[in-house]
Amino acid sequence: MADGPFSTVCKMLTHDIILVGGGGAGLRAAIAAAELSNKLSIAVVSKVYPMRSHTVSAEGGAAAVLRSDDSLDFHAKDTIFGADFLADQDAVEVFIKDAPGELIQLEHWGCPWSRDPDGRVSVRAFGGMTVDRTLFASDKTGFHMLHALFQTSLKYDNIARYDEFYATSLLVDNGKVRGVAAINIYSGQLEVIAGKTLILCTGGGGRIFPFTTNAAIKTGDGMALAYRAGAALKDMEFVQYHPTGLPGTGILITEASRGEGGWLKNKDGYRYLQDYGLGPPTKEPVHRKMELGPRDILSRCHMQEYQKGRTFEGPYGHYVHLDLRHLGEEVINKKLPFVRELASKYVGIDPVYEPIPVRPVVHYMMGGISTDVNGKTSLEGLYAAGETACVSINGANRLGSNSLTECLVFGARAGRAAAQYATSQTPPAANPLTALAKDEQQRLDRQFLRKTGGKEQIATIRQEMQKAMEEGAGIYRNEEEMKKSCNTLRQLRERFSNITIEDRGDVFNTQLIAALELDFMLDVAEAVAHSAQNRKESRGSHTRTDFPKRDDENFLKHTLAYRTPQGPRIEYLPVTITRWQPEERKY
């Protein structure tokens, strides 16, 4: 047999700090590390060009306290209440304290925040927020934020980029994470990138579900890399559905649509949320409850409308209407132009004149790699930030517009902490890392490129995984369906060992990358399903029909999932309560 792409391992590339992931959290971490010292060599490893990272698709805004009618305590309470009291309150207090400075800094770097006529940065209402505190740049906030971060990163000569490199495993030497093995997608070569410390900023894993707002690249890579190296994945059962995705594509229609005053209506033209304890309708464009309830509650309300036969039926399932017509063309063009563009291009309607069809869609993972407030994990030398991490500030349900700010706050903190750690470490030795990379090379050859006789198709296993997740870990869950999903995922893991790779080429072997992504997704999916099965209560986005009540006595605690050959091992960790005692969550 001819040599494959992994017949040799390239010479080791060495840096002080390695960042895996080039989105909002990764770039903010890189800048923070570079600011700490211009003598530190920093590598940003990304499977896509950084401006193609999923952060670019965020629309609605970023939350921070910048107005006199707001306070840090208000923001903290809203976040903790929205999290159904599963957030660590010390982490939340760090988050809301750092948030204003981060968003001001981003403006100094060029982010064009929308402004009021008096010159102040504009804020809009968002679900679960009792005060308008969401800063925005029209409805392309993530796009502008990522541009500002990317162009700022370019001024630091000590930041090197490895675009279109796919990380396949962490290199752990003597208990310390000292590097990463990554495929150069352009050449097909396996590279060794060594460092004194490593930060994972790879985003979430919404693609384990069939219907999601997440980009195709969000396959849980960083979560799985840490999980395989021995780190715990925390609170993975909490998966957020966004109530307004486009049927069929899953494209997000931002919460800003409702923040500006959009209404959700059933097939009878009725604003049904008034029937679910979210307040009466008003003539005002914006109402603090109703359409601005938290995402988990609004998604459940949609499902109840569907069960009552009050939703529309279309080729892609049930949906309701998001009505913006009463806002008028001027408001839509000024504050929601991208929403108008998306509705026009992907549904063929103009929201100035017609309501937009929407339905709940998987949007965000509250869980992730367990870290402290500085991004530090249980593995020495390993840090994480952004959606791939779980600090935890989001608990059982994230409030909209906290996530972009989270990328900035904890990206910066992880970058500084990793940089400080790196200054006290000696450079990694070549011999053990080269040997580890050679083992990884042999694994990839054996399991994928040199394997013969495989009969399973990547797409088939991926579709069956997504179907199992939707049926067992969707908006409503029960013991029987979750157990069935756990069993199915274990079978799919076994079948995965028999997949076939037809493309044996070097350059841009997208079939190989798809197989590696599926490998990671199966790990993440099992962590979600088993964590959910073990939590016998309803809290935030985790809603069990067989255990419909929140159970603080037994489950006011974080789930920790550890990888074993037999599947996830579940342990628990106390929630940190500082000033806000748990109470019934009502809006």
Task: Catalogue the active-site residues.
Answer: 242, 258
Alpha-carbon dihedral angle through residues 299, 305, 309, 315, given to the nearest 10 degrees: -30
The first and second tokens of residue 559, run together, are 């789930």
**CA dist., res. 520 & res. 304, Å (int):** 33
Cβ–Cβ under 8 Å, residues 227 and 370? no
**CA dist., res. 389 & res. 374, Å (int):** 11
Write out the DSSP string of 514-579. HHHHHHHHHHHHHHHHHHHHH--S-BTTBEESSS-S--HHHH-EEEEEE--TTSPEEEEEEPP-SS
Angle at 327 between CA 326 and CA 333, to 5 degrees: 135
Indicate left, alpha or beta for 340 from its phi (over 0: left) and psi (-120 to 50: alpha): alpha
Helix segments in 50-140, DSSP class H: 72-82, 89-108
Write out the DSSP string of 116-165. -TTSPBPEE--TT-SS--EE-STT-HHHHHHHHHHHHHTT-TTEEEEETE
Residue 98 CB coordination number (10 Å): 18
Q: How far apart are the first and last CA of the chain?
A: 65
**CA dist., res. 166 & res. 508, Å (int):** 11
Task: Look at residues 81, 86, 140, 106 and name the one whose alpha carbon lies nearest to residue 31.
Answer: 106
Q: How far is CA 420 from CA 36, 374, 379, in A?
A: 8, 11, 16
Cβ–Cβ under 8 Å, residues 171 and 433? yes
Q: What are phi and psi of 398, to 5 degrees?
A: -85, 140
Cβ–Cβ under 8 Å, residues 29 and 20? no
Task: Look at residues 196, 214, 206, 160 and name the one whose alpha carbon lies nearest to residue 428.
Answer: 196
Residue 68 preceded by cis peptide, ω within 30: no
Q: At what angle do helices 141-153 and 89-108 cross, to 10 degrees?
A: 70
Beta strands 233-234 and 239-245 are unpaired
